[in-house]
Amino acid sequence: MNLIERAVDSGRVPEPMLRAGIRAVCALRLREQRAAVEQAQIRHQAWIDALRADDIAVETAAANDQHYEVPPEFYALVLGPRRKYSSAYFPPGVTTLAAAEDAMLALYGERAELADGQRVLDLGCGWGSFALWAAARYPRSHITALSNSWSQRAYIEAQAVARGLGNLRVVTGDVRTLELDQRFDRVVSIEMFEHMRNYRALLAKVARWLDPGGRLFVHVFAHRQHSYPFADAGASDWMAREFFTGGLMPSTDLLHHFQDDLVIEAEWHLDGTHYARTAEAWYDNQMARRAEVMAVLRARYGGEAERRFQRWRVFFLACAEMFGYERGQQWLVAHYRFRKRT
């Protein structure tokens, strides 16, 4: 651990200094990605070829530990009321995190062309924000939620019982090895593809799960031009080391290179300010509920609680500053709707 990380972990680095440092890292990332047209194309194609040769996902145990086996009570304190651990949507007139969560869920319904009576798979369901919303919104539909986290499964199942949702079931499994006998009208995946690598193999698997007229809807965060792995190659790669081991930042065109089995029929981009405002709200919740958050972290991590608190503080600030960089015109949110290739 270097001196900067020790200072950050102590909580003594002022917020303005942290934000300035994060923006400097964002600028460094963009400088590192710049290249002449020919070199950029060669590098991008090499990355695509590497993804095609890789496993569907890597470093899954580390990613699970960093995010998905954190105490559920922590997320209850810092996230919005739907416990949506992904970007919300702030159209004109929407100012609260709760309303922005609902706005994004409604946008999924519209863009995925959801309808009552469908069989829907929530692929990488997180804390169930979409699955629980869809089960209530479409009561004649059958919703299957897939998670690789037992704590998430327990939470979603308890919520389904409490809300009287008999049309929702939760499956725990690893998407790398999972095979399903059931076929679906819709597969919806929200901020899971960033944890994947071999999109060709993943999309081939999803294609087998879809009915002939089925659709896959994908929500990812992305960069408008550059795609890169979160690799721990130095002091500036804090995000890769602490929160996103094995993950990647897709470019908005990346999925276009993996249309062997599924074809993109619609695509939408939301500027990064929506995610920036989401992360700012998470940060505000963490800081406003510091005593409660620390109690949860102490119960799980003991003497490591303060360090964990500060790491999450910096993570939320990093997300807010990155997606807000250049008024949201660099890093953003992308939506895609796929159909089966005919």
Residue 325 confidence (pLDDT) above 90: yes
What's the rounded Cα separation, in Å, for the pair 278 and 284? Answer: 10
Residue matched to tokens 């009915």: 211
Residue 182 burial by Cβ neighbours in a 10 Å radius (0-12, 13-18, 19+): exposed
Closest CA to 257 of 304, 202, 199, 316: 199
Q: Tell me the pairing of strands 210-223 and 184-190.
A: parallel
Give whole-number Cα distances, 39 to 35, 36, 45, 47, 250, in Å.
6, 5, 10, 12, 18
In the prediction, which pLDDT does 35 show?
85
Summarize pLDDT for 97-123 with one digit per residue, the tens. Answer: 999 999 999 999 999 999 999 999 999
Full-model pTM: 0.94
**Mean pLDDT computed over 274-297:** 98
User: What are the tokens at 180?
Assistant: 């399903």
Summarize pLDDT for 179-189 with one digit per residue, the tens. Answer: 898 999 999 99
**Mean pLDDT computed over 248-276:** 98
All domains of the chain in start order, with CATH = 3-340 (3.40.50.150)
Sign, Cα dihedral of 107, 113, 117, 123: negative
User: What are the tokens at 177?
Assistant: 């090895």
**SS3 for the chain, per residue?**
CCHHHHHHHHCCCCHHHHHHHHHHHHHHHHHHHCCCHHHHHHHHHHHHHHHHHCCCECCHHHHHHHHHCCCHHHHHHHCCCCCCCCCCCCCCCCCCHHHHHHHHHHHHHHHCCCCCCCEEEEECCCCCHHHHHHHHHCCCCEEEEEECCHHHHHHHHHHHHHCCCCCEEEEECCCCCCCCCCCEEEEEEECCHHHECCHHHHHHHHHHHEEEEEEEEEEEEEECCCCEECCCCCCCCHHHHHCCCCCEECECCHHHHCCCCEEEEEEEEEECHHHHHHHHHHHHHHHHCHHHHHHHHHHHHHHHHHHHHHHHHHHHHHHHHHHHHHHHCCEEEEEEEEEECC
User: What are the tokens at 277?
Assistant: 């405002």
At residue 58, the 3 state secondary structure works out as coil
Summarize pLDDT for 205-252 with one digit per residue, the tens. Answer: 999 999 999 999 999 999 999 999 987 666 556 666 677 787 899 999
> How sure is the predictor about 142, in pLDDT bands with cuts at 50, 70 and 90?
very high
CB 215 within 8 A of CB 113: yes
Average pLDDT along the chain = 93
In the prediction, which pLDDT does 2 show?
67
In the prediction, which pLDDT does 135 show?
99
Residue 277 burial by Cβ neighbours in a 10 Å radius (0-12, 13-18, 19+): buried
In the prediction, which pLDDT does 12 show?
82
Among the residue ranges 37-46, 60-69, 140-149, the one predicted with the least confidence is 60-69
